[in-house]
């Protein structure tokens, strides 16, 4: 039977629309994904030799201050009381992040009060005067001063971007958080946690509806499939969450992304680093950070005999890589405007999600955007 709506992409954006359309409107939905699993980039799987849950496309921590999103996600999963914290290894010494009074006092071998630490940072940040920062380095110095910038931002940023921060535009950063207290909670959000029985169980419950059919290993641009761009656009309404430039055959040029490479290793020890995430601030270490996945679930009884660590490397993406972070250069922004015009004119197709709108979205933002699109555009369209 013909579906009422086709959704391209079984990530959080696509799954949220699918669940709402099936449950709220009672319509038939087919969700396709070119990957062999649902959940998009938030997908996780159990490492088979250790039983430890690993996030395949980079660590995913759920956090939000939006009560509607929190209420919505709690329909499908309970969350643990996990609170995210990050540390940085700089020249063999471990510091808490984001930069806080503990970081400042350890770094300067001092015992500053909140007031005197603030005065110190303001004084160091004034080094370049009042002129407009010409690049990322100058911007960062104007926010936190040179010593903290050089230790915790410069080389880490250079590794992320494969570019000297003096050659990166100042606009890449608008703020660098410095806390003048000892709070090293990474997120400021009201709600935070990890799905108690894993991300996959959460996503399976979202898709578990008699009116939702999921077809995996199905690429929207593969015209040999029964559901493809050529066969459905103009006939059946579509929600498209794949890359925006790909939809229009890169006609306006490619939108640039950064990608990540992950090196996963199982070590025959219980605990490698004592914490979920360790950033590596030095230029001499090629990876940006190491995740140790057992620490995301201290409430679980994992094996004492092994642990899973993942080293993360950052680089510019080619067309065949997974797109992770939009680069958003002035050229990209110009192209994006042209693609947006094309998207607006594409009848019967809604573009959404991080790839379909070319923007970085946290999970709660993707879900929030999908709920808004459902309420404001998709439901009114079907209700007539």
Which parts of this chain interact with ligand FDA (CB under 6 A)? 8-14, 32-35, 40-42, 58-62, 219-221, 241-242, 260, 324, 353-355, 361-364, 366
User: Whose Cβ is closer to ligand FDA: residue 25's or residue 42's?
Assistant: 42
Is residue 335 among the annotated active site residues? no
Query: Is 312 an active-site residue?
Result: yes
- Nearby residues of 194 by Cβ (< 8 Å), 6 or more positions away: 61, 62, 79, 80, 82, 296, 297
Residue 324 and residue 317 in contact, taking contact as beta carbons nearer than 8 Å: yes
**Are 339 and 345 a contacting pair, CB within 8 Å?**
no
- 98: which 2 tokens? 């984001």
Contact 364, 71 (CB under 8 A): no
Identify which of residues 228 and 281 has a Cβ nearer to ligand FDA in the complex. Answer: 228
Name residue 30's beta-bridge partners: 6, 213
Shortest distance in whole angstroms from residue 312 CB to ligand FDA: 8
Q: Which entry of 175, 320, 347, 383 is annotated as an active-site residue?
A: 175
Told to judge if 338 belongs to the known catalytic residues of this protein, a careful annotator would answer no
Q: How far apart are CA 383 and CA 295, in angstroms?
A: 47
In the complex, least distance from residue 58 CB atom to ligand FDA, rounded to whole angstroms? 3
φ/ψ (deg, to 5) at 62: -85, 135
Minimum separation from the CB atom of position 67 to ligand FDA (A): 16
Question: Which of 204, 222, 252, 362 is labelled catalytic?
Answer: 362
Active site residue 258: yes
Residues in Cβ contact with 276 at an 8 Å cutoff, skipping those fewer than 6 apart: 59, 84, 85, 291, 292, 293, 295, 296
Minimum CB–partner distance for residue 364 and ligand FDA (Å): 6
Q: Measured between alpha carbons, how far is residue 368 from residues 80, 215, 303, 339 in Å? A: 21, 24, 37, 23
Q: 40 vs 165, which CB is nearer to ligand FDA?
A: 40
Q: How far is the CB of 2 from ligand FDA (least distance, A)?
A: 19
Nearer to ligand FDA, 32 or 278 (CB): 32
Identify whether 294 is a catalytic site residue. Answer: no
Contact 79, 197 (CB under 8 A): no
The answer to whether 199 and 37 are in contact (CB under 8 A) is: no
Annotated active-site residue in 47, 53, 292, 312: 312
Q: Which is nearer to ligand FDA, 3 or 353 (CB)?
A: 353
Q: Quick one: which H or E segment has residue 71?
A: helix 67-73
Q: Is-catalytic flag, 289?
A: yes
The reply to whether omega before 354 is within 30° of 0 (cis) is no
CB of residue 112 to ligand FDA, shortest distance in Å: 31
User: What letter does residue 370 receive in the DSSP assignment?
Assistant: H
215 as an active site residue: the answer is no
H or E segment and range at residue 239: strand 238-240
Please, which residue, 63 or 335, has the CB nearer to ligand FDA? 63
> Which residues are part of the catalytic machinery?
175, 179, 258, 289, 312, 360, 362
């Amino acid at each position: 039977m013909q579906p009422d709506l086709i959704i391209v992409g079984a990530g959080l954006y696509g799954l949220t629309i699918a669940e709402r359309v099936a449950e709220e409107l009672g319509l038939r939905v087919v969700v396709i994904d070119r990957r062999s699993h649902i959940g998009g980039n938030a997908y996780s799987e159990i490492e088979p030799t250790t039983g430890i849950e690993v996030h395949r496309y980079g660590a995913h921590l759920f956090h939000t201050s939006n009560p509607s999103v929190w209420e919505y996600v709690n329909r499908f999963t309970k969350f643990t009381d996990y609170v995210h914290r990050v540390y940085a290894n700089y020249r063999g010494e471990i510091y808490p992040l984001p930069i806080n009074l503990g970081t400042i006092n350890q770094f300067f071998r001092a015992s500053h009060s909140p007031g005197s630490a603030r005065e110190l940072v303001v004084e160091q940040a004034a080094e370049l005067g009042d002129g407009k920062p010409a690049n990322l380095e100058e911007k960062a110095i104007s926010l936190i001063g040179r010593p903290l910038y050089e230790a915790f931002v410069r080389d880490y940023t250079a590794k992320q971007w494969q570019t000297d921060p003096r050659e990166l535009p100042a606009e890449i950063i608008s703020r660098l958080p410095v806390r003048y207290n000892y709070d090293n909670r990474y997120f400021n959000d009201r709600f935070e946690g990890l799905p108690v029985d894993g991300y996959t169980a959460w996503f399976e419950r979202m898709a578990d509806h008699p009116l939702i059919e999921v077809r995996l290993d199905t690429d929207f641009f593969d015209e040999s499939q029964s559901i493809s761009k050529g066969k459905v656009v103009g006939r059946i309404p579509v929600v498209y969450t794949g890359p925006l430039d790909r939809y229009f055959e890169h006609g306006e040029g490619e939108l640039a992304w950064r990608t990540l490479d992950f090196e996963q290793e199982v070590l025959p020890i219980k605990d490698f680093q004592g914490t979920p995430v360790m950033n590596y601030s030095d230029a001499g270490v090629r990876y940006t950070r190491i995740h140790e996945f057992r620490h995301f679930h201290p409430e679980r009884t994992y094996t004492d005999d092994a642990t899973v660590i993942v080293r993360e490397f950052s680089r510019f993406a080619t067309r065949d890589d997974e797109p992770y972070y939009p680069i958003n250069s002035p050229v990209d922004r110009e192209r994006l405007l042209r693609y947006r015009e094309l998207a607006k004119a594409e009848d019967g197709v809604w573009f959404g999600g991080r790839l379909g709108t070319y923007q970085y979205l946290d999970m709660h933002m993707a879900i929030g955007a999908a709920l808004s699109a459902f309420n404001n555009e998709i439901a009114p369209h079907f209700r007539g």
